[in-house]
Structure 1
Amino acid sequence: MSWIDIPDGSPFGAENLPLGVFRHGDEEPRVGAAIGDQIIDLAPVASAQMLDGAQLFAEPTLNAFLALGRPAWRATRNWLLDLVRNENDRDAVEPHLIPQSAVTMQLPFEVGDYVDFYASEQHASNLGRLFRPDSEPLLPNWKHLPVGYHGRAGTIVASGTDIVRPSGQRKAPDAAAPTFGPSQRLDIEVELGYVVGTPSTLGKPVSVEDFAEHVYGVVVVNDWSARDLQAWEYVPLGPFLGKSFATSISPWVVSLDALAPSAVPLPAQDPPVLPYLDGPNLTNFDITFEVRLNGHLVSSPPYRDIYWSPAQMLAHMTVNGASVRTGDLYASGTVSGPEKNQRGSFIELSWAGREPLIVDGKEHTFLEDGDEVTISAWAAGADGSRIGLGEVTGTVVPASAAAKREGQHARQHDGSLDRS
């Protein structure tokens, strides 16, 4: 399908062509498209071909391109497909192919707002069984609306960024008072993130039918979580410091058009949803994630059966009149499947620490300093091929010295133990 050599097993085939932002040596960051193990440096190619909007590929983020809207997105994809398929374009493109190994990938877009949903029934049920063993796993509202919360856009970081262990208040169930110190239950959350391109108008909800007019594509998300901080703080207003310290995203944004072959019908929803969440063409994507802890595969969560579709998430997020802006990111929440090896967080994989995983001969529950987590994902194409989403990686580093000193002072002051 392409004159460009694509190694076997590459996530970035000639039909994918995700966009990202890279830095080559001391040069300024700019936009490129991934194919095989290389990057097409789009700015010089587009300029040489006098493409409308060519200057946008010299920008340090994708935001200006994302703001153009769906007609421009589709025209750009068609141009890219022609570039990699047409042998006549070899002389124009080949001098501007750069090995991915020679660049540093950047955060692909400047994030406006960030919303995190809770859309996986398996994940929500698992946490319900852990935290409310004597009650129904799902709360009464869960199947009537996509539950979510607003996160911190300023702490969304590029893949490869080290994750400093967060500190805060924790309270052990048998403790009389909280203590302060580094989180002892640091966790991951495997998620799919949706990248907004076209903004909406304040006061005008986005319908489920208009999802693809506003969302350009997807990234892989690791929404790091401090479970002990979260457990103490979240009543009554929900996640705060236990979730806001870091969220990592993959460097390549895969377009909805590239993902189209992986679309699958949304599973049946019971009870029926309200009209603003209903529609005749609601779909999910047939995506499989792979979670590796220090290089070892520990889980493979499936996305295709997630309960709430991305169109429903966007419709609910705006139904009160809230607007979306270019660069907004909303994520699915933790993706988990029915099997133990399909769970998308360590709180589920270790069943809140009671059932440690054995990884490379060692017991693991929550994350330790020095642990590296890599989440990759691929979508199933109609012909059995794979559409790669790339990967997101982060390594846990110790809490800051200041936070450690504060925790030691707090324990000396109240005589409590540093427990979680």
Structure 2
Amino acid sequence: MSYILVVNIGSTSLKYRLLQMPGGDPLTRGYIERIGGAASPYSWQTGKHKGSCKLDTSQGTIQAISAMLDMLVKGAGATPPVLRDINEVAGVGFKVVHGGYSLRTSARITEHVLACMEDFSRVMPAHNPPYIQAIREFQRLLPDTPLVGAFETAFHRDMPDYASVYGLPYAWTEQLGVRRYGFHGASHRYVSERAAELHGHPLEDLRVLVCHLGGSSSLAAVQHGVCVATSMGFTTQSGLPMAKRSGDLDPFALPYLMEKTGKSLQEILDVLVTQSGLAGISGLSGDMRDLEEQEATNPRAHLAIAHFVHEIKKYLGAFAAVMNGLDVVAFTGGIGENSARIRRDVCADMDVLGIELDDRLNDNPDGERCISAPGSQVAVYRIPTNEEFIVARETLRCLAEQQGGTVSDYSSRN
């Protein structure tokens, strides 16, 4: 039995979950947001105990991390502690995003790993810098605890070369690592594995299409247990339109926009990351709930939804062709799990692929379930993702391999 702390870092937020491995039983979880202010909201749950308070995080992430560690060993109010000593944590796993070609894996955090992440910070400004900063703080606060980065690109590392290469001078691919990497790897891994379990067949025998749809969205084609195609590319900017990120865009639009708007390249890139996607099209919001609520009276909200659905269907059809058909389609993520409307629209008029939805099952909001019609050739599932379990599992595997043993051996010793 080992306790693994999984940490998800945003630019101004920190989410965590402590799991008992290898089973993955969750012991506690928490969320600290608006880090950098004098009254940052902090909410947590340990068993049946829930609580919330305001934290002073005006000095930054280190105060949020310290509050989290205190909660684990001291508790708060009616919420009991879950650990006697912070050294009971066998390892801390981070859902890190991008470390380049050599780090499409899970790895013990070292200076080399941080340097690789730093090298990609300019193209991953919302992801890599906050993680690097937080990892530095963990190194100071928990100097004897192993830290592991479970890179989001790892799940896609076995994509065929012809699916990951761009039509660029090959030296740029070989020497600079400009290629399709793919992201949301922990989610795609968990959901594809869980879909196979629900479907009652080994993952190695299936052609699974995972639709991770949320503020950030991507599709992954999983054939025989291996990702063979995915919608995101060199960075998380490409692929489907997202809440505020544009998704796919002709690169020659950039010099045209610079000329016509008078903005610099960096200013244009900032707009593509923070003011585009669903928010840019609608002029209203990047939140699908807002768009669905306003669609009847706001033509641009309708346009944003229609474009989102069109792009999903486009990739879904392409990936079905890549795998020579489909056995399972699985929806996950904030939109994929919670928007019956988006699931219905994506699956509409897809009988050519053998997809037929059961509207009654699709409208049921409870838990994971099969939502396809009894006669559908392709099984369709709604599956809440569990990225934390995958990160904890990868962290435990990485630590066990470093000690030259198995996960079972490592867990029995810790």
TM-based fold match above 0.5: no
Compute the TM-score of the two structures, normalised by the length of structure 1. 0.31
What is the TM-score when the length of structure 2 is the normalising length?
0.31
Q: Of Structure 1 and Structure 2, which has the larger fraction of its residues in helix?
A: 2
Higher relative contact order (CA 8 A, sep 6+): 1
